[in-house]
């Protein structure tokens, strides 16, 4: 078997892991989650969740990926051959995410170009839905392809292909050594602009003003754990894959901490930037701040363009903001795609170049559905279901199996033996007790919620086709892949 | 900005970037990054 690829430097690995973790959600989800769950007080459950779930799981994934030197399916196979399906489940979850995540990035790429002449006009809301997305009436009315989105997605899939084709050291590492410093540089420029705007202080105060009564609300703790869970790129094969490319004597524990802290630090800065701009917007429009606060797609493609229209040097800052989204998204997209590519290469002994080419071609074709007039609806449904029943459930199974049916201490001994510092038995407790309870609660709450009430009021047929069938399919595909033969043995190194 | 908001913002930045700085410092001390 060919020698496994390796990262060129420790910095390269950390930048790639940070790049994987930092994504669109750091910019458009964290600030709103904090604002909506106690403001500054949210940071208490948020950091508690980071220490008791986020960091322990990253260390676990870094540890097993490094120890067993495989993509997620191969790693789980080596741990116990009948667990291979879990790795494939995570790989297919990643694949589903990749085919719609790239389309969101393509919106951002289009908007970066639109920003050059404020092409969204005076009514960014109607522009986004009616003119840009050309939205149909529902998910079962796909309509036709929206060509600007198609072209941007084509460019982005080409970039993903180029990076994966070039390999770990010359592709992924180089890409992240470019994207990550640029992303931070752009963020700092926008941060400097945002905090000096009139009204920004009020906006930032609005975000961080603590409401400590929120700490007694269990839903705030659920929100904090959910935010940590989704922000760190854990439990869908990525961190296992990335750490499998580390050299033998690589640090594990400290790299995991650095990744987690930088990811959350980026969220903090992004929150200050976003709420600074929202504060300015509220001041300019003479409205209350809570009238302008938004999250997600609405924040990025409606509210922020409205704010950009009011800024001095609007075109410049508009371009920078959407370029930030592109960089943040692409570094994550690369990691998601690599998790899939690596799994296939390991299983079938396929060469990287061919695997990357086929994967990106198939991915591009399947992405087409999200580039249609009904694409946003389909994306919304797929995203909701794959996150809440793909990542959360696969993560729960992973943590329970590895904590209760595997020698967890063997991973801790492995990571402690070569890390800058050792972790204690608190790590075992977090993985055996805290994380399964939290993930189990999230999984059950999600299930009950979505069975009782149709998500966002979508038609049951749409939820069945794009939601429930997708989550069941990725699980069944996991078992199907396990049944396919490979050259793997449990003695394989 | 209110003093509570300032305190929580600094708290958040200190935990995240302070934590990252300490960890990166340990990495440099232990071996080359």
Indicate the residue of B5, B29, B30 with minimum beta-carbon distance to A209.
Answer: B5
From chain B, the residues in CB contact with A201 under 8 A are 1
Asked if A208 lies within 8 A of B16 by C-beta distance, the reply is no
Most confident of the following: A218-232, A289-303, A462-476: A462-476
Positive/negative CA dihedral, A57, A66, A23, B1: positive
pLDDT at A491: 55
Residues A455-471, buried b or exposed e (16+ Cβ, 10 A)?
beebeeebbebbbbebb
Task: Identify whether the C-beta of residue A60 lies closer than 8 Å to the C-beta of residue A415.
Answer: no
- Judge whether residue A2 has pLDDT over 70: no
Rounded to 5°, the CA angle A439-A445-A447 comes to 100
Query: Which token pair is A171?
Result: 């592709």
For residue range A248-267, what is the model confidence (pLDDT) as tens digits? 999 999 999 999 999 999 99
Task: Identify whether the C-beta of residue A163 lies closer than 8 Å to the C-beta of residue A171.
Answer: yes
Indicate the residue of B6, B11, B27 with minimum beta-carbon distance to A254.
Answer: B27
> Can you tell me whether residue A141 is helix, strand or coil?
coil
For residue range A48-88, what is the model confidence (pLDDT) as tens digits? 999 999 999 999 999 999 999 999 999 999 999 999 999 99
> Can you tell me whether residue A152 is helix, strand or coil?
helix
CA distance A199 to A193: 12
- Judge whether residue A493 has pLDDT over 60: no
CA distance A18 to A3: 25
Asked if B12 lies within 8 A of A40 by C-beta distance, the reply is yes
Residue given tokens 């069945």 in the structure block = A464
Task: Identify whether the C-beta of residue A106 lies closer than 8 Å to the C-beta of residue A152.
Answer: yes
Task: Identify whether the C-beta of residue A301 lies closer than 8 Å to the C-beta of residue A128.
Answer: yes
> Can you tell me whether residue A372 is helix, strand or coil?
strand
B2 interface with A at CB cutoff 8 Å: yes
Q: Give residue ranges of A with CB < 8 Å to any B CB.
A: 9-11, 14, 39-41, 43, 47, 201-202, 204-210, 251, 254-255, 257-258, 261-262, 264-265, 267-268, 272, 420-421
pLDDT at B30: 83
Rounded to 5°, the CA angle A387-A390-A391 comes to 65
Average pLDDT over residues A402-417: 96
Instruction: Identify the DSSP state of A145.
Output: B
Q: What is the DSSP string of A256-271?
A: HHHHHHHHHHHHHHHH
Any bridge partners for residue A189, and if so which?
none
CA distance A175 to A327: 10
The confidence band for A1, taking pLDDT boundaries of 50, 70 and 90, is: low
CA distance A218 to A209: 20
pLDDT at B32: 54
Residues A192-224, buried b or exposed e (16+ Cβ, 10 A)?
ebbbebebbbbbbbbbbbbeeebbeeeebbbbb
Mean pLDDT over each residue of chain A, to the nearest integer: 95
CA distance A100 to A364: 10
Task: Identify whether the C-beta of residue A472 lies closer than 8 Å to the C-beta of residue A463.
Answer: no
- Judge whether residue A452 has pLDDT over 50: yes
pLDDT at A492: 47
- Judge whether residue A173 has pLDDT over 80: yes
pLDDT at A3: 85
CA distance A413 to A408: 9
CA distance A89 to A474: 6
B11 interface with A at CB cutoff 8 Å: yes
CA distance A68 to A255: 18
Radius of gyration of chain B from its Cα atoms, rounded to whole angstroms: 14
Nearest CA in chain A to B29: A420
Q: Set out the domains of chain A in order of their start, with CATH numbers.
A: 10-483 (1.20.1740.10)
Q: What percent of chain A has pLDDT over 90?
A: 96
For residue range A10-42, what is the model confidence (pLDDT) as tens digits? 999 999 999 999 999 999 999 999 999 999 999
Task: Identify whether the C-beta of residue A462 lies closer than 8 Å to the C-beta of residue A377.
Answer: yes
The confidence band for A489, taking pLDDT boundaries of 50, 70 and 90, is: confident
Query: Which token pair is A210?
Result: 């603590």
Task: Identify whether the C-beta of residue A363 lies closer than 8 Å to the C-beta of residue A58.
Answer: no
Average pLDDT over residues A218-233: 93
For residue range B1-33, what is the model confidence (pLDDT) as tens digits? 899 999 999 999 999 999 999 999 999 988 755
The confidence band for A295, taking pLDDT boundaries of 50, 70 and 90, is: confident
CA distance A427 to A49: 13
Top residue of A173, A420, A423 to mutate, by most chain B CBs within 10 Å, is: A420
From chain A, the residues in CB contact with B24 under 8 A are 258
Nearest CA in chain B to A46: B12
Positive/negative CA dihedral, A472, A474, A477, A479: negative
Residue given tokens 């700092």 in the structure block = A188
Average pLDDT over residues A130-149: 95
Average pLDDT over residues A378-402: 96
Q: What percent of chain A has pLDDT over 70?
A: 99
Q: What is the DSSP string of A164-208?
A: HHHHIIIIIIHHHHHHHHHHHHHHHHHHHHHHTSTTHHHHHHHHH
Cβ contacts of A403 within 8 Å, gap of 6 or more: A428, A431, A432, A435, A436
Average pLDDT over residues A427-444: 96
The 10 Å Cβ neighbour count of residue A490 is: 10
Indicate the residue of B8, B11, B23 with minimum beta-carbon distance to A261.
Answer: B23
């Amino acid at each position: 078997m060919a020698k496994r690829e390796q990262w060129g430097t420790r910095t390269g690995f950390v930048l790639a892991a940070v790049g994987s973790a930092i994504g669109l959600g750091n910019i458009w989800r964290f600030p709103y989650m904090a604002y909506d769950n106690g403001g500054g007080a949210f940071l208490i459950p948020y950091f508690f969740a980071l220490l008791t779930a986020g960091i322990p799981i990253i260390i676990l994934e870094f540890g097993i990926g490094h120890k067993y030197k495989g993509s997620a399916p191969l790693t789980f196979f080596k741990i116990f051959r009948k667990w291979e399906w879990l790795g494939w489940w995570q790989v297919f979850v990643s694949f589903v995410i990749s085919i719609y995540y790239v389309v969101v990035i393509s919106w951002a790429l289009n908007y970066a170009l639109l920003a050059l002449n404020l092409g969204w006009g005076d009514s960014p809301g109607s522009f986004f839905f009616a003119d840009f997305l050309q939205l149909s009436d529902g998910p079962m009315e796909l309509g036709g392809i929206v060509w600007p989105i198609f072209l941007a997605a084509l460019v982005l899939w080409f970039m993903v292909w180029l990076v994966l084709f070039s390999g770990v050291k010359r592709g992924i590492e180089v890409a992240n050594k470019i994207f990550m410093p640029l992303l931070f540089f752009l963020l700092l420029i926008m941060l400097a602009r945002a905090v000096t705007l009139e009204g920004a202080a009020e906006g930032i105060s609005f975000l961080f003003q603590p409401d400590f009564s929120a700490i007694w609300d269990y839903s705030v703790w659920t929100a904090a754990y959910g935010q940590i869970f989704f922000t760190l790129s854990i439990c869908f094969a990525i961190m296992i894959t990335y750490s499998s490319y580390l050299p033998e004597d690589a640090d594990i524990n400290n790299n995991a901490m650095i990744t987690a802290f930088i990811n959350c630090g980026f969220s903090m800065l992004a929150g200050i930037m976003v709420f600074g701009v929202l504060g300015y917007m509220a001041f300019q429009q003479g409205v209350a701040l809570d009238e302008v606060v938004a999250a997600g797609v609405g924040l990025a493609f409606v509210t922020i363009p409205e704010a950009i229209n009011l800024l001095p040097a609007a075109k410049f800052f508009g371009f920078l903001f959407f370029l930030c989204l592109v960089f943040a998204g692409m570094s994550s997209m690369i990691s998601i795609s690599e998790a899939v590519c690596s799994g296939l290469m390991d299983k079938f002994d396929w060469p990287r170049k061919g695997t990357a080419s086929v994967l990106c071609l198939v991915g591009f074709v399947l992405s087409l559905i999200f580039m249609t007039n009904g694409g946003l609806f389909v994306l919304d449904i797929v995203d909701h279901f794959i996150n809440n029943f793909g990542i959360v459930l696969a993560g729960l199974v992973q943590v329970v199996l590895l904590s209760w049916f595997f020698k967890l201490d063997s991973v801790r001994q492995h990571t402690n033996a070569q890390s800058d510092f050792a972790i204690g038995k608190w790590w075992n407790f977090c993985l055996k007790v805290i994380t399964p309870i939290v993930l189990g609660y999230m999984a059950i709450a999600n299930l009950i919620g979505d069975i009782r009430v149709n998500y966002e009021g979508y038609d049951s047929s749409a939820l069945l086709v794009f939601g429930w069938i997708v989550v069941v399919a990725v699980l069944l595909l996991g078992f199907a892949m396990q049944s396919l033969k490979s050259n793997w043995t449990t003695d394989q190194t | 900005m209110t003093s509570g908001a300032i305190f929580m913002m600094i708290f958040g930045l200190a935990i995240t970037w302070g934590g990252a700085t300490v960890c990166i410092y340990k990495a440099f001390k232990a071996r080359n990054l």
